[in-house]
Structure formats: C-alpha cells, structure tokens
Structure 1
Amino acid sequence: MALDEATAQFLKQLGEAGSSPLHEMTPAAARTMYTQLHSLSGQGPPMARAEDVTIASEDGASFPARVLTPTTAPRGVVVYYHGGGWTVGGIDDVDAVGRQLAERTNCTVVLVGYRLAPEHRFPAAPSDAYAALCWAGAALPGQPIVVAGDSAGGNLSTVVARRARDDGGPAIDLQVLIYPATDCDLDRASYHDPANQLLLDRHAMVWFWDHYVPDPAQRADPDASPLRAVDLSGLPPAVLVLPEHDVLSEEGEAYAERLRQAGVPVRLQRADGQMHAFFPLVGVLPGSAAALARVAESIDAALRVRSARGHV
C-alpha cells in the first residue's frame, strides 16, 4: 500500500520548504527542525494538573519530566519516552500527544526528558529512563504502570521493562512499543527499501547511532540493541505499533517474534499507509489519531484486566 494522501502531502510540503537532510545537520540544527515539525501538532487538551519536575539519575545528574494529570482520579500511570534517535526531541515536542493520551486513558502521563547524545552518550539515556520509571513508581504509588515510547523511546521502553524485571523495579502492566529501534544492524532489507526512505532513512539512522553509541562494539549491548538480549521471558505484555513504511520495520517484527517465543503476550498493530515518526503528529496526520485511539484502547484493556484481578 502506498503512503496515505495526508502523509504524501505532508512530505511534499516539507520538500518544498527545502530543508537539508537530517544527516547533514548539526545536532543543534536537527533539534530545531524537530521542534518546528512537532509544533504543527498544536496544543493538546487541558489537564487537571500539569507539573514540571526534575528527576535525579543514577550517576548524580538530573533531567526534566512533565507530569500530566487529566482528572482528580486517574486510573494509572503512563511513563512516556519520546523519539528522536536519542539525539533530538524533548518533553515539549510530545506534550500534545501526551495530553491526548492522558485524556483518552484517564492516566497520568509522565513525559521523560532523558539526556541526549552526543553531549550525553549511551548509557545516559537508559539510565535516565529507568530512573524516571522508579520515580513514577515512588511518586505515584499504588497505580498500574504502563511504559510507552516511539522510536528511540520505544527502545528505552524495552530496556526499562527488562531492567525492572531483573532488578525488582516497579511492576509494569504493559509496554507500548511504537516503531521501536531494537537493533544496530543497519543492513536489513527494510533499511534499503526505497519505499522506506522518507522522514527517517538509513542515512539518518547511521547519523543517530554515530552520535549515540559511536563505538560499534558497544552497540551490541542489549541496553542499546534490545533484540540482542539473551532472555526476554517474564516481561510485561507488549503492544507494538509498526507503520508500513519504516526502515525499522524488520527489527520491530523480529522483536515481536522474540517476545512471542519467550511467552510474552504480544499484540501487533499495523499502521497501513503510515511512515516512521507519524505517531506524535496529532492534528497533522489522521493516521496518528487512529493509532493513538488503538493504543488508548490497548491501555484501557490492560487496566481492566488488572482491575478484574483485584489489584486496583
């Protein structure tokens, strides 16, 4: 299936604007471009409370987070990690989609502003991601927890889910992995498919990895490439959202299959006609709204299962 009409028109407008390819930009320029792109989503719905906090990481550094509480009686917590190749992006860029998710699920959404490469290379991002999960578990006790993220944020969601299992961290009821980066192999067929060279292409992924984990040997670490983890058993149920046109599509499929083989319940949501990076573009791409609705339904179903078991 070809790209849907809205996405094709969106990419045409970006092309007419004449911006440079991401891999030719400096990190500072790429961050400005990323913010401008996501500002098109506008403002999300009002919250009962929106609070910016600072969280301490494991190495003594700190990073920002935003706590979006939709009502006076939220039913759970979604810890959300933004995309951007571990190099660009921040909590402001996903504020609109975070608010939408909070409103649709009646869950408090914690947007995590983990430290970015190349100023803070691997393993700063996964360390911050896990610190944010632990903070949420302590600051918002007694509520079911969902970890979620898109692209690099999906990668971090897998990492914190596995670490929570291994280190006795906060219990996670669901992991929502939206076109996650799961492996450092950039020569899968999906990376070379001409139909996938869109907003994110192979050149951009090379650029991201070079900034995030410049040592090729270190990229095989499961905290960088979760697909290479030896044991994926005992992890929370997973929802994977995979767009049709994405250089990461094969590693997403492979990770879903590894989870299934390990006995983890997996629900795969395919987004026909969509491209990588579509999810946070609420108000811009209709496909984003449709995927957001499906994700919200999956979170609602997970919370209802937990409630039926008498945990809430």
Structure 2
Amino acid sequence: MSLDEATAGFLAQAAEGGGKPLYEMTPDEVRSMNDGFIELYGPGPEMEAVENVTVDAADGHQIPVRVLTPSKNPRGVLVYYHGGGWVVGTPDQFDTLARQLAAGTDCIVVLPDYRLAPENVYPAAANDAWDVAKWTAARFSDLPLLVGGDSSGGNLAAVVAQQAVAEAGPHISFQILVYPVTDSNTENATYLDPANQLMLDKKSMDWFWDLYIPDKSMRSESNVSPLQGDVTGTAPAIVLIAEYDVLRGEGEAYAAKLQAAGVPVQLRIFEGQMHGFFQFVNILPGSAAGVEYVNAAVTAHLDAQ
C-alpha cells in the first residue's frame, strides 16, 4: 500500500517550509518545533478533574505528573508515557491525545513529565517511569493498572511491564505499545528501507540513541532494549505499528516474542501510516483510527475482567 494521502500532503507541506532534519537540530530546537503543534491539536474532551501533581522519585527527584480523570467512576488507570526519543515531549504536547484516551476508555490517564536527555541520560527516564507506575498503583489501588506509550514512551511502558514481573511490583493489567522502541539495533531491514525514512529516519533515531545513552555498551540491557529481556508473565498487550516506520521490524519482533512466551497479544499494522501518526490528533486521520482501535481494545479488555 502507498503512503496515506493525508500523510503525504502533510510531509509535502513540511518540506515546503524548509527546515533541518532532526539529527541536524539541537534538542531545544526540536522541542520548540514540537510545541508548535499544540495549537493544531486543539482541545481534547472535557474531564471530570485535571490535577498537576508531583511524585517523589526514589532518588529524591520530583516528577511532575498530570492526572486526567474522565468521570466520577472510572474503570481503570492508564500510565501513558509520551514519545519523543527520550529527548523531547511534554504533558502539554500530549494532553489532547491523553484526553481522547481517557474519554474513550473511561480510564484515568496519568501523564508523567519524565526526565529528558541529554540533560538526564539513561537511566533517568526509565527510573521515573517505574516510580510513576508504583505511585499510580498505590494511589489508585482499587482500579486496574494499565501502561502504554508511543515510540520511546512505548519503550518505557514495555520496560515497566517487564520490571513489574521481575521485581514483584504492581500488577499490570494491560499494555498499549504504539510503534514501540524495543531494540537498540538500527541496522535491520526496516531501518535501512528507503521507504521508511520519513518523520523518523535512521539518522534521527541514531541521534536519539546517542543523546539518551551515550555509552553504547549499555544499550543491550533489558531496561533499554526490552526485546532482549524476559517477557514471561507480562501483561496482555496490543502492539500498533505503522507500515512506513523504521521501528516496524522491532515492533513486529516484540509482538512475536510476547506471543511465543504465551502472553496474549494483538498486533495491528496501520497501513499507509508513518511513524508518529498516532500523536497527530486532529491533524492526520490515521490518528483517529489509531485512538479508536486503542479505546476499543482497552474497553474489551476491561469488559472481560
């Protein structure tokens, strides 16, 4: 299938505007660019309550967290880790998406503002992700706990799901992995495919890796590359991947690893879509389809409990 028409138009418009590729920009330049999308996303659904709180991390750091409560009697609580290569991304940038997930699943959504590289390299983001998951489980102990995220956020969600089993931590009911980063190997077929060099290309992903974990010897650790970890006993999952994405191969491989370990998993390839489509709410039609799929899968999971 060819690239989605709306996506192709979006990329053409971006190309007309000029600008440098990600790997030639500074982290602050990329962060500023991402902030520019907030107005385009528009407001999300109204919530019953919105809280901005802080979580005490194990190392004494204060983690800002946004808590979106969609109704008086929510069905679950989802910790959603935003994407951005562990370098960019804020709760403000993902607020509209999180509200759509909260409204569509009737789950509280917890959005952590985890520490970013290069100011805070690994394991800062992974540690924050784990601390917020434990805090959420304690605060909302009467609700099923779900974890999810897109791209690097999907990486953190997968890491937390494995860690919950390995450390006998909080019980996680469900995983939502949206084109997740699961392996540090950027030399596989989907990374090298010219058709996949779009919003995220191989050079940009290498740039993210170098900022997040400058020490390449650490990149095979399971808290970095969950594809190298033990998925036995982890929560049921859905894995969403884009057809045109350098991360497609590792997403497919992670779904296969879950299935081989006996973990219930649904793999959905969104044809015609590129990396990043999920977060472009109210910009790319593919985002609405992705959110609808996630909301339906979460609802079905909670209905079966």
Q: Which amino acid aligns with 1:276?
A: H
Are the counterparts in 2 of residues 45 and 99 from structure 1 also a CA contact under 8 Å? yes
- Overall identity of the aligned pairs, in %: 51
Give the residue type in structure 2 aligned to 1:232: V
- Which position in structure 2 is the counterpart of 1:29? 29
Deviation digits for residues 110-159 of structure 1 (CA, Å, limit 9, x no counterpart): 01111000011000111000111111111112101110100000000001
Residues 261-276 of structure 1: pairs in structure 2 closer than 5 A: 261-276=260-275
| 1:107, distance to aligned residue in structure 2 (A) | 0.6
Structure-2 separation of matches of 1:39 and 1:200: 22
Q: 3-state DSSP class of the match of 1:131?
A: helix
**1:300 matched residue in structure 2:** 299
1:34-71 Cα offsets, whole Å, 9 max, x none, are 22134421111111101101112221112211000011
> Structure 1: how far apart are the matches of 2:38 and 2:243?
21
The answer for the alignment partner of 1:168 in structure 2 is 168
Which residue identity is paired with 2:237? A
Instruction: Give the whole-Å Cα distance in 2 for the aligned partners of 1:56 and 1:273.
Output: 42
Corresponding residue for residue 205 of structure 2:
205
* Cα distance in structure 2, aligned partners of 1:292 and 1:26: 31
1:54/1:62 contact within 8 Å kept: yes
**4+ runs of 1 displaced by more than 3 Å?**
none
TM-score by length of 2: 0.98
Cα distance between partner residues in 2 of 1:6 and 1:115: 33
Distance 1:37 1:8 in 2: 18
User: What letter corresponds to residue 295 of structure 2 in structure 1?
Assistant: A
* Partner in structure 2 of residue 218 of structure 1: 218
| Contact 1:283 1:289 (C-alpha < 8 Å) held by counterparts | yes
- Cα offset for 1:94? 0.5
Report what 2:73 is aligned to: 73
SS at match of 1:220: coil
In structure 2, the partner of 1:309 is none
1:239 is aligned to 238
Aligned to 2:148: 148
Q: CA deviation at 1:20?
A: 1.1
2: CA distance, partners of 1:5 / 1:235: 37
Q: Which residue of 2 aligns with 1:196?
A: 196
Q: How far, CA to CA, are the matches of 1:13 and 1:60 in structure 2?
A: 44
Report what 1:82 is aligned to. 82
Paired residue for 2:281? 282
Contact 1:39–1:93 under 8 Å retained in 2? no
Give distance in 1, aligned partners of 2:136 and 2:172.
11
2:106 counterpart of 1:106: yes
Secondary structure of the structure 2 residue equivalent to 1:71 = coil
Q: Give the aligned length.
A: 305
Question: RMSD of the TM alignment (CA)?
Answer: 0.8
SS at match of 2:278: coil
User: 2:278 aligned with 1:248, yes or no?
Assistant: no
Aligned-pair CA distance for 1:276? 0.4
SS at match of 2:266: strand
Equivalent residue letter for 1:288: S
Give the CA deviation at 1:244. Answer: 0.4
Give, as a single letter, the amino acid of the residue that structure 2 aligns with 1:37: F
More displaced stretch, 26-35 vs 235-244: 26-35
**1:59-87 deviation digits (Å, cap 9, x = unpaired):** 11122110000111111101100000000
Do structure 1's residue 136 and structure 2's residue 160 form an aligned pair?
A: no
Q: Any conservation in 2 of the 1:38–1:280 contact (CA below 8 Å)?
A: no
